[in-house]
Chains A and B, each alone.
Chain A
């Protein structure tokens, strides 16, 4: 098992190196960094001097090594646009995105898993058909339309909830959280719902499909033939086996939620990383874009690693084989 985790860690390092290379080439080859930084009136000599100072004339490998080394030490460079350190800018924005993503994921799990189980247990019921139809609509409508519709209904027509920003936030050890005030929750609920709806339908359909598959398996038939109470049969035997493949997808989804919160953040003017990324694109702020790429990749790798370890915890077959 130690071997397994070490192997995964090693793979993660390689993935991160590949992403760093990608971010670096973005940095280095998309446009000329020097002309990004300087104005039209800068002389050719000054530009050349700057190029030499910044080490842009060094060989590619040396530059990449320096780039990676700086990153590992937490030095992510400076933004072209605001002249602030990128690390600070990202660190400011991470809490907003993480909270949004986590709440969205929790909404999708709390609703999606029970709905999936219900629709699997009563595949032909009226409620099941209704749920399936509604979620089909949910998948088909683009995220921003759902967001705008929610804003229109709850923000404008009913006036219950704010339509932009994070509301009241509390600062806890450098982490700006909106989870500790009513106001913050009121601001969070609409964007989280918007972001979570798609994940919710996906989770539900996946749980449903897997559960129906498991319910047809031999061990469920055997347990039924032994008269195990249905409650236990469904929630202990079937659900646990259903969750094994579902966890992988949920893990990947969480990475996706973080990465693709861009649209939702922009609709709700949510001050997270996605919004920062959009602003950076508008101003061709390449250092921020590069670091954003690396940070998102890091989340993906981290979540996948956690999922792998969760597998071992759930499935005894993956643990060290004892002599049978």
Chain B
């Protein structure tokens, strides 16, 4: 049905053309789900945009053929191409929060799309829209259809997006990271839906994703991309099960396994670790010097956090929203506690309460033998402000863009009065960069000059320079590519062992937690449903909710 041969996409720039896609060939049959997988910059989305004719200018198709059925997609005039969009090829975007027009009802958007391609009356179009929403699993569609996008939850919204892509009966749907922004439970429902639509309606899908688990779960064929080129292509079972290309093998090795724990990830050899020289050894000695006492555990008892709710009535006090409900948790000294749960389960709230960023309503927190006061009651000079450090999820916003790396790293040293000598602080910052396997020559650069993985290393380095005993990592790798994630996780493991750190590792990704954690705690809507030692947990979790979570996570059969 869709046949792409030798596709080359170029972006003209001042320094000559930049080739984003080079000689890519893909065939998609009706009812086939074809996965495009690769890391950021691999050109996955560009291929999708080229097929549907929505390349961001000034990008253009430089060579190759693209045919859909008998139609040569490259020969279409702009008007014909626009006519064909929606009608024959449709698209699903990553974030259901932003891909619907917030000012129009679902009904208006559906009817408008149907009427753009079919000459039908509004009432017929509405009936068709309602039927489609029912089919896609929105209950009570006839009345819900009049709602605005913000009145639907994330998963329901993604269903509406799929309904919109589907309402004109296209032959091909390009799904660009359709489940990346969703929780596992919703993700698995949406993936099932896509599989069902391919099987029952014979729609061809191009599924663009960075998540190999998703690829393994539902695709028929897969194309592995890197730097705009095809590394390997073929039936999914063959490509993932017996990868031919070294890159595919490296990629597979970097994927965290849900089914077993590895001591270290295998990372491609071209990223050989920097061997620390004298400065690195010095920084290491300095850090070890500060942490000679044993690890510090964390004891949380009956912690409850409430937030002010939205006011619904003028005379009634708003109902408080309970973010954490009576949570008790013990993190053993020197261990890694994995904290898992879906979005909104209170994972980050717990992290903020422990680090004193928000005030709980009740409960106690103890670091070692010291009580941790609530929120603002914990003074700036309280020792736990130094002992507890955080690594945040988004490496793009957690570093001050106007500060040089050297200043960012030296800040905790000055702030906590650890080193009074400026030259000494700089030397430690340089040594620390070596410990996190970065080139010390970059010390005078600004954060925007680094990639996501490098920034996350800097964030880890900054946290460690405070000589912490307790590290909170809130989704530290979920914004990173798998191979970079593998490197950062390796680094965290090494540093944890070296400095005997206690870590609270927050993640929604169970496979990552299995690799990192000694114990696992599961949160569901603010309640702790289970705490267990890691290996027994992954073999046989006790709580029903944990079992569901585990079973919904895409497993890698290869």
Contacts and interface: CB of A to CB of B under 8 A. Distances in A.
Contact of B85 (A3, A6, A217, A225): A225
A210 to B, nearest CB: 14
Contacts of B161: 222
Given A321-B151, A321-B310, A227 B101 contact: no
A315 B104 CA distance: 9
B91 A324 contact: no
Interface of B: 52, 54, 82-87, 89-91, 93, 95, 98-105, 109, 112-113, 116-117, 147-148, 150-153, 156, 161, 164-165, 168, 310-314
Contacts of B93: 218, 221-222
Interface in A103-129: none
Interface stretch (A47-55, A228-236, A248-256): A228-236
A-B pairs with lowest CB-CB distance, top 3: A227-B86, A225-B91, A226-B86
Nearest to A232: B112
A241 interface: yes
Nearest to B81: A227
B151 A324 contact: yes
A219 B151 contact: no
B314 A226 contact: no
A25 to B, nearest CB: 35
B103 A218 contact: no
A315 B148 CA distance: 10
Contact of A2 (B82, B98, B314): B314
Contacts of B147: 322, 324
A224 B151 contact: no
Contacts of B87: 227
B321 to A, nearest CB: 13
B98 A219 contact: yes
B99 A218 contact: yes
A17 interface: no
A316 B99 contact: no
Contacts of B151: 321-322, 324
- Chain A CB count within 10 A is highest, among B84, B151, B153, B156, for B151
Given A227-B82, A227-B85, A317-B150, A222 B314 contact: no
B116 A225 contact: no
B17 to A, nearest CB: 19
Interface residues of A, number: 29
Interface of A: 2-3, 6, 217-219, 221-230, 232, 236-237, 240-241, 314-317, 320-322, 324
A324 B99 contact: no
B313 to A, nearest CB: 8
B103 A226 contact: no
Contacts of B103: 240-241, 314-316
Contact of B82 (A230, A236, A321, A322): A230
A165 to B, nearest CB: 45
Contacts of A236: 104
A219 B83 CA distance: 18
B54 A221 contact: yes
B114 to A, nearest CB: 10
Contact of A3 (B86, B104, B112, B314): B314
Given A3-B313, A324-B147, 15 more contacts: A219-B99, A221-B99, A222-B99, A225-B89, A226-B116, A227-B82, A227-B116, A241-B103, A314-B103, A315-B103, A316-B102, A316-B148, A321-B150, A322-B147, A324-B150
A232 B101 CA distance: 13
B59 to A, nearest CB: 14
A223 B91 CA distance: 9
A324 B310 CA distance: 14
B314 A218 contact: no
Contacts of B105: 316
A228 B116 contact: yes
Nearest to A321: B310
Contacts of B313: 3
Nearest to B313: A3
A223 B161 CA distance: 10
Given A226-B164, A227-B86, A324-B151, A218 B91 contact: no
A217 B98 CA distance: 8
29 contacts: A218-B95, A218-B99, A222-B93, A222-B99, A222-B164, A224-B54, A225-B52, A225-B85, A225-B86, A225-B89, A225-B90, A225-B91, A226-B86, A226-B116, A227-B82, A227-B83, A227-B86, A228-B86, A228-B112, A228-B116, A229-B116, A230-B82, A315-B103, A316-B148, A317-B148, A322-B147, A324-B147, A324-B150, A324-B156
